[in-house]
Structures are given as C-alpha cells and as structure tokens.
Amino acid sequence: MSGAKAAGGRLVDGLALDVIGSIPVALVAVDGTGTPVWWNDEAETLLGDLTDSDMAAISARAAADPGPIHLRTAVGIGPAGSPMTWVVATEGASEEVLEAFAHQALHDHLTGLPNRLLLNDRIQQALSRAGRSGASVAVTFLDLDHFKLINDTQGHAAGDALLRAVAERLSAAIRETDTVARFGGDEFVVVCEDVTGPDEAMDLVERLRRALVAPFHLQGEDVYVSASLGVALGGAADTAEGLLRDADAAMYQAKVEGRARAEIFDDAIRTRVARRRDIERALRRALDEQQLSVVYQPIVSLDAGWIVGAEALVRWRHPDEGVILPGEFIPVAEETGLVGPIGELVLDEACRQLSRWRTEVPHVPLFMSVNVSARELRGHIVDTVMCTAARHGVQPSSLALEITEGVLMDDVGRCLATLQELKRIGVQIAIDDFGVGYSSLGYLKRFPIDIIKVDRAFISGLGTDANDAAIVSAIAAIARALRVSVIAEGVETPDQLYALRRISCQQAQGFHFARPMPPAEFTALLHAGPRW
C-alpha cells in the first residue's frame, strides 16, 4: 500500500492514511489557501516534493510535463471538518477511470456505502442547510451487538455477508434525503435532515431498529441481530465531529443500559461523558502515585466451615473524593487500556500476599482468586502469570483467574486458546457472575472451567424464594456432574448459608463471613481461625 504524507513530512491521521494511501493515482489535498496539506506517494512521484508548494506551482509542474499531466479538482471536507480541495493528477487516464477512483476514495469497499470521509462531508452540508431552514440534523450511531460471535462461529465470510445485508436493510429503511454510511467494523452512521425534534428523531431510529428485526439468512442458518443506537441532534452551530462524538457517547450508553436499545444524547449523558474523562485523567495519576491498593475477601469451605481462599479486589482511594468503587473506574480502564497495568498490579500484590500467608499461616492452604479482563486475555497473560508466580515463589495451581461470561463472548476463539494455555500451566479458571449472561451451559461444555461463581442475584432469595433455591440447586447439581466446583457469591444471612449447605454448595463468600479487608486484617482473621 502506498503511503500518505503531510506538510513537513508528518504522517496524517489514521483515517486519511488509510484512504489516501490506498488510492492508486496521484492525490493531493489542499487547504483554503491552496497549500498542499496531504498527498500520497503517487503524487510525489508525478509532481515532485510538494513541501512548501502551492496550487500555482502544482499547475506549473503539470503543464511542464511532456505527458501532459491532467489535474482534476473537487471541493470536499477533511476528516476534522475543515474545507479541503482534492486534486487528482493523472497521465492520460480516462473519465471512467477517474470516476472509479473518485468513488473508491469516498465509499466503503465492502458495502458500497459512503465512508467516513464522505460522511463528514454529508453531515457538514446537512448542517449548512439546517442553518437556512431552522430544522435539526439527526446523526445516529449504530453498532451491532455481539457481532464478533458471527465471525467466531461462522467465519469472516459470513460476517462480511451480514454487514452487506445490514447495509441493504438500513439503506431501504431511510428516506431519500438521508444518508447511511459505514463508519468502520460493525458500526454504521445514519444522517437525517429536516428533523423537528427528539420525538421525530426517535421515530426514525425505531424504523432502523425494525429493519433489523427479521432474521438474516447466513450459510443456511437464520441469524438474529440486534443493535445499540445513539442519536445526537444538531444545527448550524454544530460540527460533524461533535455530532459523531455525541452520537457515539449515546450509543455507548445504550450498550451500558443493556444493548438492543436506543439512547438520545442529552445533558445527563454529557455529564457522564465528562465524568468518564475526569476518571481517566485521575486514574492515570492514580497509577503513577500508587493510589490503588488491593483488599481481600475470604472464600469459605461450607463443608469444613473455615477459610480456604481469598479473592483479590482492587480499591482506589482518591485524594479528594475518597474511595471510588471499581464499578465506576474499571469500565474506563477497559476502554483506555489502563486495565492492563491495573491487572498486573493486582496480580503482583495478590501473589506477594499469598506467598506471605503461606509463610505466616502455613497450616491454611489458601488459593488466590484474581479477576481478569478481556484486554488481559487478549494480551500476554500466560507469560505474565508465570513470571509473577515465579517471582513470588507461588505455584500457578494456587491461583484462580475469574472471567465473566461477557469476556468469554468477546473473542471466543482467542479466549479458548488462552484458557487452555493457562490450564496447561496449572491455573484454575473460574467463570464469574454465572447465570446472568448468555449461553452459560454452553460455556461449561466448551471452555476449561474449574469453578462456577453463582451470581449474588440468585443467592439473595435463598431461604425466602423457592425459585432462587431451585436455580442454585440445579446449578450445583450440574456442577457436580461436570466435576466443577461452585462458589456462592454475596452470602449475607444465616438463612442463605443454611440453604447453600442443604444443596451441597462447596464454597461461599459474602458479608456474612467478612467484608473485603486489608492484608493485615485478613492475616489476623486467619490466625483467629473462625468457623462458620
């Protein structure tokens, strides 16, 4: 693939690099003063170095070439929303070839829909017209839910076929004046003009949602697809970049609220977005300033009645806000990649503490349970676990890594390979929050699971709700048949503990036994040797 350059020799942003670098003709982008700001290798070969050049110099070089070189220009919008003029330089190319190259530059090769460059231009034009009409422009960001499952189970060819089919349905569902574009991956953007307000915008979104309700026929199977949608309304004072950002934030909120739904960007989402930005900045400082610590919650054997393990849990004590709970900062860490350093910190502290307990309380054969994120599974977690365990002198077999069902769904193929490698070195694998996700029983069959942690939602009703008792009893029976251990989470009352013993649940944790505590308190608890 050819490259793309900018004035001063800088590479352009990733989007422009992908687009400009893939076009097999000389292409230059000039700003409002006629100064070249982007160009590809073909342009440099044909026209020479364009640094410190302008349109007059480009025209002179083209006219001086014995070819001659033909220049063709078109006004457009750059990725940042600024006005640009695109210049195509060719030696004898036909009109049809030029049209084909122009289409390739502005359309997605898989679906034929407008790409991100053309999308920006369409939004900016719509906003300009909105300034004259007084109506609003609605930008809808649409992301397919669990699209990776299609690639994992049916292959990338089926995934591509699904994207093309989705593009066709969305195109059929919009008005003639609207635009549907492929933003990238399994993300689409729909631009609707002359929208009177939020109610009409949501009516248009409902039309898009209904377009995806009927099954898609892929490789002889009916596949059902849902989408999370976010909507942002704007007018002449807004920018394409800002509307896309706000629609994306609303779409993210739709995913947080449970997927397969739509959210419209409002002040509440704006506040949440600002809070997430604050959390990200503060979290980076927290890692540098060692504001994060690890606490431990006992895991109790219900047969023997004493502590047999500990779950390592991260805590953040902010210097101004006090304790910030993991539920608020871990999702931000996942998005930003900070979950990797946090995970390594927790694993290192957990192994160091386990080694100390093995020395200080040798009569208690503890295992240590540590939560693992999707990003960590996609990284070098096997090497990290081996090195960390060796550094602190603990056996990998004394570690249990907890993974949620959502993590398993993120990339089935890679997850399976990584978990098998972890099993090979002796690490136990626990599936956390069991029963509240998708295809739980299928995971028990497919993945090398050692421990099921039953979600607290089913434990809370034990002793009072017959349905919860039946569900937990069934899980325990299945686990025994598969020779998998069961840990009940969130045990808070004697009645819940009694019910768990009646159904022969092996282990439990929760406030009934102890809250998460610093290492020194946990050590004192081990020395006290409590029985339940």
The pTM of this model reads: 0.68
Residue 260: Cβ within 10 Å count: 16
Which residue has better confidence, 354 or 132? 354
CB proximity list for 523: less than 8 A, separation 6 or greater: 356, 357, 360, 361
135-139, 255-259, 359-363, 507-511: the lowest-pLDDT one: 255-259
- The residue whose two tokens read 């919008």 is 77
How many CA atoms within 13 Å lie on the side-chain side of 513? Answer: 32
- pLDDT more than 70, % of the chain: 89
The third-level CATH classification (topology) of the domain covering 4-106 is Beta-Lactamase (3.30.450)
SS3 112: coil
Cα separation values, 436 from 39, 75, 258, 455, Å: 52, 52, 12, 7
Contact 504, 523 (CB under 8 A): no
The Cα 103–Cα 455 span in angstroms is: 52
Say which amino acid occupies 105. Answer: A
CATH number for the domain whose boundaries are 116-265: 3.30.70.270
- pLDDT number for residue 439: 47
Which of the four pLDDT bands, split at 50, 70 and 90, describes residue 56?
Answer: confident
Contact 62, 89 (CB under 8 A): yes
- pLDDT number for residue 330: 92
| pLDDT of 18 strictly over 70 | no
Domain 287-528 -> CATH class: alpha beta
- Nearest 5°: phi and psi at 430? -115, 140
Beta bridge partners of 309: 299, 367
The Cα 149–Cα 159 span in angstroms is: 9
Burial of 137: CB neighbours in 10 Å, binned 0-12, 13-18, 19+ = buried
| pLDDT of 165 strictly over 80 | yes
- Estimate to the nearest angstrom the gap between the alpha carbon of 373 and the chain centroid: 11
- pLDDT number for residue 2: 45
Contact 468, 462 (CB under 8 A): yes
Say which amino acid occupies 337. Answer: G
Contact 341, 380 (CB under 8 A): no
Contact 120, 240 (CB under 8 A): yes
| pLDDT of 74 strictly over 50 | yes
Which of the four pLDDT bands, split at 50, 70 and 90, describes residue 58?
Answer: confident
SS3 530: coil
pLDDT digits (tens, 9 = 90+) for 270-315: 998 899 899 999 999 999 999 999 999 999 999 999 999 999 999 9
| pLDDT of 68 strictly over 60 | yes
Contact 26, 88 (CB under 8 A): yes
- pLDDT number for residue 96: 67
What residue segments make up the domains of the chain, in order of their start?
4-106, 116-265, 287-528
Biggest distance spanned by C-alpha atoms of the chain: 94
Tokens of 334: 């996942």
Cα separation values, 491 from 235, 282, 462, Å: 53, 33, 9
| pLDDT of 215 strictly over 80 | yes
